Amino acid sequence: MSIDTTTLDGVVELREPALTAVVTAVTHTGGTVAVAVVTTALTMLMLRAGRRDDALLLSATILTGWPLMSLLKLQFGRERPPQPARLVELPTHSFPSGHAMMTAMLATVLAVVIARQSPSGSRRALVAYCALGAYTLAVGLSRVYLAAHWLTDVVAGWLLGSLWALLWVGLITRVRARL
């Protein structure tokens, strides 16, 4: 038995109505609309604060990450976990998890922005990093619980999202250094 099927069997046994309601709410915080709203609001706040580079980093990462994730789903064409375990019906493919990938991009960029603005060893920054990590972890695991994705789809989403964000960090940092 694979880690994907073992994990799916385990989460199906954990399900209960109250937990499913909470997990469903959590999963919505990592959807395309939620990430777009958060990205737009934070980009506007950064621009208003005169932090153009941070605004560019955030918006460019998310705006280019979504099509990348969509192309990867088409390329791999992996089927989602089977019915009746799946609690959501989605028309797209499973690999990588878009929720995990998008929230990892968002969390990674925001962690970099916080690191740039915070003094070394700042407790507030540490709390923010933990909150960002917990957010993307909770959203990703919610996708497994709902059987919207296999565990490996979610792990791949986290890795790809973080790497994509770090590529943008490197690009923006290089461009900034040349100016």
**Residues 104-132 pLDDT 10s:** 999 999 999 999 888 877 899 889 999 99
- The answer to whether the CB of 162 falls within 8 A of the CB of 103 is no
Q: Determine the pLDDT at residue 177.
A: 79
Q: Determine the pLDDT at residue 173.
A: 86
Q: Determine the pLDDT at residue 156.
A: 97
Domain residues for the domain of 118 are 3-178
Query: Looking at the 3D structure of the chain, how many domains does it have?
Result: 1
Mean pLDDT calculated for residue range 152-172: 96
- The answer to whether the CB of 88 falls within 8 A of the CB of 145 is no
- The answer to whether the CB of 35 falls within 8 A of the CB of 102 is yes
